Amino acid sequence: MRLLPRVNYILMPVIITVFTFMGWIVYEQFYRASQTYLKGYLEQELSYVQQQMHLEWNSYQSILNKISISQELLQYTSTDDSRYQSFVFESRLMKMLARVRRNTSQIQQIQLLGNDDKPLISIPVGNPFDTPEIDFEVKSFLQESRALRFGETRGAGKSIQRFIYPSIDPNTVRFGIASTIVPHLLSDDRANNPNSEYYTIFLVGELTYFSQLEKRIKNHIGAGVTLQFSVMPPANDAQELSDIRVVDGSDGGLVGGLSTELFAINIVVPKTSIASRLSAVRSDIYLSVLSVILISFLVLSTLIRRQIISPITQLKERVKKSRQQQESLLSYIESDDEVAELNNSYLELLNNVERLASRDVLTGLGNRRNFQNTLSRAIQRNVERNKNIALLYIDLDNFKQVNDHHGHAAGDLVLQEFGCRLNDVVRLEDVTGVPGGVSLSRLGGDEFVVLLNDIPNPDVALAVANRILELFDPAFEVAGVQYGVCASIGIAISPEDGGDATTLLRHADAALYKAKAHGKHCCEFFTADIAEAIRRKTLIANDLSSALVNGDLRLVFMPIYEVETLIIVGVEVLLRCPTLERQGIGPDQFIPIAESTGLIRKIDLWVLDSALACLKCLQTEHGFSGYLAINISGVELHSKKFPQKVDEYIQMYSIDPASVEIELTETALVSNTDNSAIILQQIKDLGLGLSLDDFGTGYTAFNQLIHYPVDCLKIDRSFISAIGTGAVEKAAMIDTIMALAKLYKLQVVAEGVETAEQLDYLKTIGCARAQGYLLSKPVEWERFLALWRENAKNIDLS
């Protein structure tokens, strides 16, 4: 199971259990407290009832006593004259009894019974025409044991009897209290004379305590409470027992009661009543528990997720991605926790594995596998970026002898040492010109390979190879021992020597074989042409450099004509190097070489200097009114100092800048456009003109044209030569260029005009200027002067 669900599965039950348990405990406490309180309450109520009843019984007793000893009763009972008795005494007695009844709210009936229980007086009278009858309850009482009336069973006797009677209506309880009197005797004396005439007085009434108690308790606790009133059977031993007891019921409720010798009150408070009192508490507890469960679950879950699971999951993701992409997305985590430790350990593990997998154990250089990957990747990148890769396959010559003569330990040492030195040599940036684009590998045995990425030209590879070879000059010394090993290097250049890893390696191997065949301790390129080209390039560069130093450079002049009038309006200066010229190498060859070596800077400055000097001469001595066009290398656009230099020369020769035009090839503008634009602008700001040479061959976009402060477009010769040949697109290009020039208000000069047809065509399309062999070849200084003089005459004439 996933971690997060697992956490949830663990958390939920535990939280629910814990909080439910707590909630239950809290509820139990409340319940218990409620129970205790109710217990106290019931005890209090019962005690109150008990006291009240006690007081009331006492008062009834005293009333009975009062009646018993009252004069009215005494006289009534002691008179012989029945007429007098009925005329006088009975009314008095009746009045007294009626008064007693009126004054005592609970007494409802008073009855006086004579001897043999004959009813004499009954209050209230009710219907006076009915003879007094014994009250129903009194009758029941009389049926009880008579002996109790005189307490025959006991010594002193009890003159006052009490009884409680449940009435037919279950909500009322009737009570009675009776006293037997023998009028002529004192109460103490009665026991001695059980057979004397006696009268019995009954007070009968209704006990409201029970219903009041019931109402009160039900109001307080709830309707679920049951109260039961029961009459005790008359006990033989009439002790004054009165017992209040409230205990816990079997169902968790309360059971209690008051029991006296006359009656018992039983109260049952069911658990539901107590519980219903707590219903508000219960719902509060439910809510609290629920919300606490939810909140703590959410909080805990979130915290765990964020603090524990999330880091783990993230680590897992990173590891997974690392595996998928074969490169490590893991990075060192600085934390102190287990996840960080795991992360770091894994990282180290990966690194170790990676190292182990890709490193050669002995030298610490890359191993074969690593090399294969690196090479493949490099070739892939090379294709994308259109750069060269150089593969240097190095084999140590005479290595076997080291092992044989000095032992394998020494051999290993040599290899190790070579690896180190190789590393040092190769990684020098100034050698390669490209930082970090190198990888070294040991393919096995004594074979090493150096991969150079993104080299600008094969020369770099050669330089590196030479450096490596120098390591073995004069011998390879390791720990004081000189070993007669040296290296043979085979160089293969991609893409020329192979577009895939296998081919490249194979060719490099072949080059190595070639080197070995040449006598070892040397390097060989796979492609002879490359080597040759390098050689040639070096020669030319040297010659050019010498020519510059020796003043062997010359300028030639190519006039630019106005097409309509064939008037010379300007002149382009071109560079010649006689030395190279004799070898058949023209500026189209040596200028690129000069650019690659950086010599072009010096050459450009020489050109500038010389050209401006010529112009000065032309203007001052020969009245030249046209402009001078000077070709400048695109390299100058990266030189911040160039405009400054131009300005220096302008100032030096005091030339009007407007009469000077700088020519740049369209292609030179392609790279590093921003800086180029700035420098161009600076040149323009000096007041010079600017024209794009070989226009139409580059990739200038229209909006780029806006960037450059160009004045003139020089249509490339290829388009001009296409006129009349039926190459429609090329011809159409001229129209397009014309339209473009018109749009941007630029001058147009057509280059390489060689036929009259071409010239005519240019005339028709409105191209203003042209130059070419038809009009004039590039000529020497003297010749140009002559041309100018002729032309000037023509100007005067026209």
Partner 1 sequence: MKIIKPAVVLLILVLSLPTSAEKVRIYNWRLYLADQVVETFEKESGHTLIQMYYDEEAVRDAVISSGRSQGFDLIMMDDSTLRLMDRLDRFQNLESINGDIEGIEPLWRKACGPFGVAYSWGTSGLMYRSSVAVEPIHSWRQLFEVPAEHQGRLVTHLDHQDSVASALMAIGAHPFAVDKVALQQAFNLLQKQQASILAQTYGLAYAQIHGTSSKMSLTYGFSSDLSELIKISGQDDWVYVVPEEGTLLWADCWAAPYGKTLKPATVAFLKFINRPDIAAMNAERMGFTTVNQAALALVNNDYRSNKVLFPSKAIQDRGSYYQILDPESEKLRQRMITSLQSQ
Task: Point out which residues bind partner 1 (CB under 8 A).
Answer: 71, 75, 81-92, 94-95, 98, 102, 123-129
Query: Containing H/E element for 258?
Result: strand 254-260
Q: What is the distance between the alpha carbons of residues 679 and 672, in angstroms, rounded to a whole number?
A: 11
Please state, in angstroms and rounded to a whole number, the distance separating the CA atoms of residues 600 and 711. 24
- Residue nearer to partner 1 on the CB measure, 83 or 582: 83
Q: Hunting for tokens 């065949």 — which residue is that? A: 517
For partner 1, which is the closer residue by CB, 9 or 84?
84
* Contact between residue 464 and residue 432 where contact means Cβ atoms under 8 Å apart: yes
Q: In the complex, what is the shortest distance from the CB of residue 120 to partner 1, in angstroms, rounded to a whole number?
A: 9
Angle at the Cα of 270 from the Cα atoms of 265 and 276, rounded to 5 degrees? 130
Cβ 211 to partner 1, closest distance in Å? Answer: 25
Give the nearest distance from C-beta 162 to partner 1 in angstroms. Answer: 26
Q: Which residue has the tokens 């009661």?
A: 257
Nearer to partner 1, 111 or 665 (CB): 111
Q: Which two tokens stand for residue 224?
A: 């679920």
Q: How far is CA 291 from CA 15, 224, 294, in A?
A: 11, 32, 5
Q: Which has the closest alpha carbon to 392: 435, 450, 339?
A: 450
Beta-bridge partners for 702: none
Between 99 and 641, name the residue whose CB sits nearer to partner 1.
99
| Cβ-based nearer residue to partner 1, 124 or 445 | 124
3-state secondary structure 174-242: EEEEEEEECCCCCHHHHHHCCCCCCEEEEEEEEECHHHHHHHHHHHHHCCCCEEEEEECCCCCCCCCCE
DSSP of 432-499: HSSTT-EEEEEEETTEEEEEEEEESSHHHHHHHHHHHHHTTSS-EEETTEEE--EEEEEEEEETTT-S
Least distance (Å) from partner 1 to the CB of residue 188? 25
Q: Which is nearer to partner 1, 104 or 596 (CB)?
A: 104
- 28 exposure class (CB count in 10 Å sphere: 0-12, 13-18, 19+): exposed
Let me know how many helices (H) and strands (E) the chain has, helices first. Answer: 27, 24
CB of 136 to partner 1, least distance (A): 20
CB 225 within 8 A of CB 268: yes
Residue 210 CB, nearest distance to partner 1 (Å)?
27
Q: How far is CA 296 from the centre of its chain?
A: 23
Q: Which is nearer to partner 1, 94 or 285 (CB)?
A: 94
175 burial level (CB within 10 Å; 0-12, 13-18, 19+): buried
Q: Which is nearer to partner 1, 96 or 767 (CB)?
A: 96
My answer on whether omega of the bond before 474 falls inside 30° of 0, hence cis, is yes
Residue 238: CB minimum distance to partner 1, A = 34
Q: How far is the CB of 84 from partner 1 (least distance, A)?
A: 6
Give every CB contact of residue 351 below 8 A, 6+ residues apart in sequence: 328
Residue 113 or residue 746: which is nearer to partner 1 going by CB? 113
- Return the closest-CA partner of residue 35 out of 252, 245, 280: 252
In this structure, what token pair is assigned to residue 195?
């057979």
Where do the DSSP E strands lie in 666-764?
689-695, 712-715, 747-750
720 within 8 A of 758, measured Cβ to Cβ? yes
Nearest approach, Cβ of residue 103 and partner 1 (Å):
12
For residue 1, with 0-12 CB atoms within 10 Å meaning exposed, 13-18 middle and 19 or more buried, which class applies?
exposed
Strand partners, 679: none
| Helix pair 756-765, 728-743: axis angle to 10 deg | 40
Closest contact distance (angstroms) between CB of 197 and partner 1 is: 18
Closer of 82 and 703 to partner 1 (Cβ): 82
Using the minimum distance from each CB to partner 1, give the nearer residue, 86 or 620.
Answer: 86
Residue 132 or 709: the one with the smaller Cβ distance to partner 1 is 132
* Closest CB 199 distance from partner 1, rounded Å: 16
Phi-psi sector, 685: left (phi>0), alpha (psi -120 to 50), beta: alpha
Q: Which H or E run contains 268?
A: strand 263-269
What letter does residue 359 receive in the DSSP assignment? B
Nearer to partner 1, 123 or 660 (CB): 123
Query: Tokens representing 214?
Result: 């019931």
Q: Which is nearer to partner 1, 98 or 471 (CB)?
A: 98
Strand order in the sheet with 119-123: 119-123, 107-113, 199-207, 173-181, 160-166
Q: Which is nearer to partner 1, 150 or 202 (CB)?
A: 202
Minimum gap (Å) between residue 242 Cβ and partner 1: 35
CB 162 within 8 A of CB 177: yes
Nearer to partner 1, 71 or 482 (CB): 71
The least distance separating partner 1 from the CB of residue 76, rounded to whole angstroms, comes to 10
With H, G, I as helix, E, B as strand and everything else as coil, classify residue 699.
coil
Q: Which residues on neighbouring strands pair with residue 206, listed in sequence order?
A: 174
Q: What minimum distance in Å lies between the beta carbon of 113 and partner 1?
A: 15
Rounded Cα distance between 615 and 689, Å, is 15
The distance of closest approach from Cβ of residue 112 to partner 1 in the complex, given in angstroms and rounded to an integer, is: 12
Bridge pairing between strands 523-525 and 554-562: unpaired
Shortest reach from residue 202's CB to partner 1, in Å: 17
- Give the DSSP H or E segment for 528: helix 528-550
Looking up tokens 């100018």 gives: 788
- Residue 39 or 92: which CB sits closer to partner 1? 92
At its nearest, how many Å lie between partner 1 and the CB of residue 109?
12
